[in-house]
Amino acid sequence: MGLRTTSKEMDQKSQAGPSGSNKSSVSLVSSLMRSWKITSNPSSQKSSNSNSNSYSNLSGNSSGDNRLNSGNFDAMSKQQTAAIKSSSSYSPLRYSTPVSGISVGESPRPLLYSNHRNGDHESSIKKDAYFKDLDEDWSAVIDDYNMPIPTIANGGISRSNSDNLTSTSLSKAYDPSLPLSRKVTNNSMKSSSSLGTNITQQGTAQSSHNLSYPQLPQLQKSVTSELKLQLEMENERELQKINSIMQRITKFDCIVSDKKIINQQELRQISWNGIPSIHRPKVWKLLIGYLPANTKRQESLARRKRQEYKDGIKHIFTEEHARDVPTWHQIEIDIPRTNPHIPLYQFKSVQNSLQRILYLWAIRHPASGYVQGINDIVTPFFQTFLTEYLPHSQIEDVEKLDPESYMTEEQIGDVEADTFWCLTKLLEQITDNYIHGQPGILKQVKNLSQLVKRIDVDLYNHFEAEHVEFIQFAFRWMNCLLLREFNMSAVIRMWDTYLAETSVETSSGSSTTFQSTGAAGTGSGESNPHTPLQPTNPTFQTPGSDYHSPSSHTNASSKNISSGENNRLRYSSLNEFHVFVCAAFLIKWSDKLMDMDFQEIITFLQNPPTAEWNENDIEMLLSEAYIWQSLYKDATSHWQ
């Protein structure tokens, strides 16, 4: 942010002193420090001409680009949508029309997947007005929350002891007394250094150049202007990327730590565009309504829910509990088959954890019970919550490390509990997907076909002609929330948005009920630890008597239906949005599919070429879904 190395600035650099030279040579480290100062401590800018120069860019063009890089597709989509709507001549029949405005494709990939970054420069002018607004909004945020500047400055510069930090966060993951800002500042430095080996290496190489300052002018002279321009562009892009990431981290920090009551709406808005990995565990718990918005209550509630879970597990292994053997065995069979390509899920401790979570969930929800696919859905939660116990430099290694190597048994139990409750909260919103006959899925598949009929009638007709039925490929999309279609990192990014899609009113509403009833539940749980939770909490559709005999389906399912209807009203947004994502996903391949016959279509859709998809691709998909949702909002009115 604010470090656009325009040629004008390049000229200025010789007069601007050391910091100016840094700018043109783009030392990653120093620019990181500097940019971070810019975003957090405007007053320090006045000390240096060149800095204030670049700061003035903050609310100018570059911020628009940064926003894009940071994945603010929400904003982009809104703008696109507005543009589309205002153009009366536009007929949204085929997909390519609206998208061509988003990304100007010079990439060899089809138009739809072209990297956002390619489009930035071409379209930045158009978007300036919009992003300027956002940017003002952003500076307002700084003023509003009075960021703890000194802490950040100290943390960013002098606190480099990662072991210290790790042990702190290990032992006090939920301690609100731990100043989060300190943690985060440290993290932000680290996370930005772990952005990718490319950047890191380049950064290191360049910073070593920087140390010997007098060589710099020679370096500059020796490169041709073209090369220089290319380098500039690259550096600029990387800087923007890093800056925007740091900006986001700081902003999340603001929202999550600085207030007594977390602003759920604000959190949802910013989370829609992706959550920094260091914030993800906590933000997910907030978004799904597991942790309350009231920060003072978070710790006690987490402790209580963890104890409840542990009591429930303890009960399973007592003799009083008549084990549901078929369910237990089914889960046991499926656990080794869950994410078989990811090492994490081959560790015995992880398999045991997942088995306990799934079994406890299944017996407490007898109307659905364990359904294949839930074993997939549990994994993003589990994996994400594990990262809370890893040093921030190792978050990306979570898929390779045995949790037993860095966590105590107690901590693993805590992660299990968090996972269990968040899984419960998520599945609560899609109850109809897993009850007998799976009406929720059938309905979603039908909605998808109707939507495609409206958005892309050619494709719809082609499917009809080839006798392709939507349920033949889309059943899995609904049953596993597209988890089987993407790699784990893409799925986790997608879930940032999905969890943010649970609508604000419902979630804050449910979190209050959760608190009050949760307290009642704990009371009974503590008085008699071997008694399972009474269904005081709306989470449980299971009548208490059903706990021991999960076979009494009639009673449970009637209860379930009523709560299902309730949920549909309260939680329509996630289900609805998912259908739009599926539509966007399908229409993405429209041109290809039009040339295929039945067999090729089914085979293609069963194995879509998404193995290499990264966060950018997912963000593109989500923003496309957002556009379709905005355009076809009326189509969904009868879905409820």
Partner 1 sequence: MNSNVTSVKLVLLGEAAVGKSSIVLRFVSNDFSENKEPTIGAAFLTQRVNIDDHTVKFEIWDTAGQERFASLAPMYYRNAQAALVVYDVSKPQSFIKARHWVKELQERASSDIIIALAGNKVDIVEDGGERKVATEEGQKLADEEGLLFFETSAKTGQNVNEVFLAIGEKIPIKKPNEHANNANADGSNDNNRVDITSSDNNAAAVSGCNC
State the minimum distance, in angstroms, from the CB of residue 615 to partner 1: 23
4 and 62 in contact (C-beta within 8 Å)? Answer: yes
CB-nearer residue toward partner 1: 320 or 600 = 600
Per CB under 8 A, does 449 bind partner 1?
Answer: no
> Which has the closest alpha carbon to 33: 149, 150, 189?
189
- Residue whose token pair is 């986790």: 492
CB-nearer residue toward partner 1: 231 or 371 = 371
The phi, psi pair for 33, rounded to 5°, reads -60, -45
CB count within 10 Å of CB 274 equals 25
Per CB under 8 A, does 467 bind partner 1?
Answer: yes
Interface residue with partner 1 among 484, 548, 553, 559 (CB under 8 A) is 484
Q: Using CA of residue 35, residue 37, residue 43, residue 45, what is the dihedral sign?
A: negative
Per CB under 8 A, does 379 bind partner 1?
Answer: no
CB-nearer residue toward partner 1: 165 or 362 = 362
State the minimum distance, in angstroms, from the CB of residue 467 to partner 1: 5
3-state helix/strand/coil string of 45-109: HHHCHHHHHHHHHCCCHHHHHHHHHCCCHHHHHHHHHHHHHHCCCCCCCCCHHHHHCCCCCCCCC
Interface residue with partner 1 among 71, 156, 276, 373 (CB under 8 A) is 373
CB-nearer residue toward partner 1: 376 or 617 = 376
Q: Which residues pair with 261 in a beta bridge?
A: 294
Interface residue with partner 1 among 62, 63, 114, 338 (CB under 8 A) is 338
Per CB under 8 A, does 108 bind partner 1?
Answer: no
Interface residue with partner 1 among 192, 235, 431, 479 (CB under 8 A) is 479
Per CB under 8 A, does 336 bind partner 1?
Answer: yes
CB-nearer residue toward partner 1: 258 or 466 = 466
DSSP symbols for 580-604: HHHHHHHHHTHHHHHT--HHHHHHH
* DSSP type of residue 533: P
Structure tokens at 263: 């602003």
Structure tokens at 352: 């045991």
Per CB under 8 A, does 606 bind partner 1?
Answer: yes
Per CB under 8 A, does 330 bind partner 1?
Answer: yes
Per CB under 8 A, does 475 bind partner 1?
Answer: yes
Interface residue with partner 1 among 205, 530, 597, 640 (CB under 8 A) is 597
State the minimum distance, in angstroms, from the CB of residue 286 to partner 1: 30
Distance (Å, whole) CA 593 – CA 609: 13
State the minimum distance, in angstroms, from the CB of residue 250 to partner 1: 39
Distance (Å, whole) CA 185 – CA 284: 20
Number of residues that this document lists for the chain: 640
Distance (Å, whole) CA 606 – CA 593: 13
Per CB under 8 A, does 342 bind partner 1?
Answer: no
Interface residue with partner 1 among 566, 600, 614, 640 (CB under 8 A) is 600
> Which has the closest alpha carbon to 382: 429, 440, 342?
342
- Kindly write out the interface string for residues 555-584 of this chain, putting x where it contacts partner 1 by CB under 8 A and - elsewhere: ------------------------------
- Residue whose token pair is 């204030």: 52
Per CB under 8 A, does 447 bind partner 1?
Answer: no
Interface residue with partner 1 among 167, 599, 614, 640 (CB under 8 A) is 599
State the minimum distance, in angstroms, from the CB of residue 450 to partner 1: 19
Distance (Å, whole) CA 483 – CA 498: 12
E-only strand ranges, 460-536: none
Interface residue with partner 1 among 106, 137, 523, 598 (CB under 8 A) is 598
CB-nearer residue toward partner 1: 69 or 339 = 339
The phi, psi pair for 261, rounded to 5°, reads -115, 120
Q: How many residues bind partner 1 (CB under 8 A)?
A: 36
Q: Using CB under 8 A, which of the segments 127-135, 275-283, 468-476, 505-513 binds partner 1?
A: 468-476
CB-nearer residue toward partner 1: 379 or 616 = 379
CB-nearer residue toward partner 1: 96 or 607 = 607
> Which has the closest alpha carbon to 629: 84, 64, 89?
84
Per CB under 8 A, does 427 bind partner 1?
Answer: no
> Which has the closest alpha carbon to 582: 502, 459, 473?
473
CB-nearer residue toward partner 1: 306 or 476 = 476
Interface residue with partner 1 among 168, 472, 557, 572 (CB under 8 A) is 472
DSSP symbols for 336-401: GGSSTTSGGGGSHHHHHHHHHHHHHHHHH-TTT---TTHHHHHHHHHHHHHGGGS-GGGGGGTTTS
Q: Using CB under 8 A, which of the segments 22-30, 473-481, 524-532, 540-548 binds partner 1?
A: 473-481
Interface residue with partner 1 among 466, 519, 543, 615 (CB under 8 A) is 466
Taking CA atoms, 626 is separated from 487, 588, 630, in Å, by: 21, 14, 6
| H helix count then E strand count, the chain | 31, 0
Interface residue with partner 1 among 108, 150, 214, 437 (CB under 8 A) is 437
Per CB under 8 A, does 375 bind partner 1?
Answer: yes
Interface residues with partner 1 (CB under 8 A) are: 330, 333-334, 336-340, 368-369, 371-373, 375-376, 434, 436-438, 466-467, 469, 471-472, 475-476, 479-480, 484, 597-600, 602-603, 606
